[in-house]
Amino acid sequence: MWQRQILGIPVEISYFTLIFFILYPLVGLWWEGVLLFALLISHELAHILMARAYDVEVKKLEIWPFGGVARLADIEEDAFIEAAIALAGPVHNLLLFFGGLLLWQLDVFTNPYWIGIYSRVNLGLALFNLLPAWPLDGSRVYRLHLSRILSPKEVEVRLKLVSRLTALFLVVIGVLSFIWYSGQLDFIIAGILLLFASRKDVYEKQGSFPVSLWQKKSQMINEGIMQGEALVVHQATPVYEVIDQLTPGKIYVIFVVDDSLKLLGILSEGRVAEAILYMDSDTEMGDLVEKHC
């Protein structure tokens, strides 16, 4: 990753992205590459501005040739804030797309070549990023939906499956398009990049479990009562195994015991969420009790 800063936020640009844009001037498409890169950066700026509107800290941005990944720092009470931040990028590109068409109709834009590129890039960025494949923006909204009905482990499995199926679908469409039509490689490259990205960290630390916890907090505040359940775990049990047992719609109280079943401490789901966000997922539950006391 190549690191820079935008609006004071660390930005990591993947080597795939750098290679992708280096190829443009090599084939005589210098200004086309500049336009594509500018629209890609504006897509990410839309995410940043929406996050700041909700007072959510963006710790880091990772930029890929067809979009980026915003690493958010804070857990908010309203889980739909993450969806709003995720959708800000595609909505931004759709507004630019329709704005360009309007300017074309008003004869402000008169060059058909450039309005064509401008329109295709904006529409492509918007639609592509709405796909439910990690790490695209649509996958965050899809994960938000899954977290309401599935356990964190089930969300992880489902998201991995859908991400890889989507990537393979793009590769197949790209191969067929290459054989039968214009011979463009866009879909093939996009599918390969998605396959590579989905292997990296489809189940990130700020993933489905904190989203599920946000929803439980909102439900508890709105309804005033929720079904509770106790979970007894051994002190050597890693955190990631515990969150696999926590399902939506219930608030859990976690009792941590030692080899002799002596009670070492009681933890809330919120404490487990802090471990997922700020500690290793293989941290033992006994260590959480010691740090909590």
Determine if the peptide bond prior to 65 is cis (ω within 30°): no
CA neighbor of 37 nearest in space, from 50, 53, 19: 19
CB 59 within 8 A of CB 48: no
Please tell me which residue in 44, 62, 156, 284 is annotated as part of the active site.
Answer: 44
Place of tokens 């790209």: 174
Whether 166 and 132 have beta carbons less than 8 Å apart is answered as yes
Strands (E), the chain: 2-6, 9-13, 58-64, 67-72, 227-234, 250-257, 263-268
Q: Give the separation between CA 81 and CA 73, rounded to whole angstroms.
A: 13
**Catalytic residue status for 156:** no
Neighbours of 31 (CB within 10 A): 12
Which residues are catalytically annotated?
44
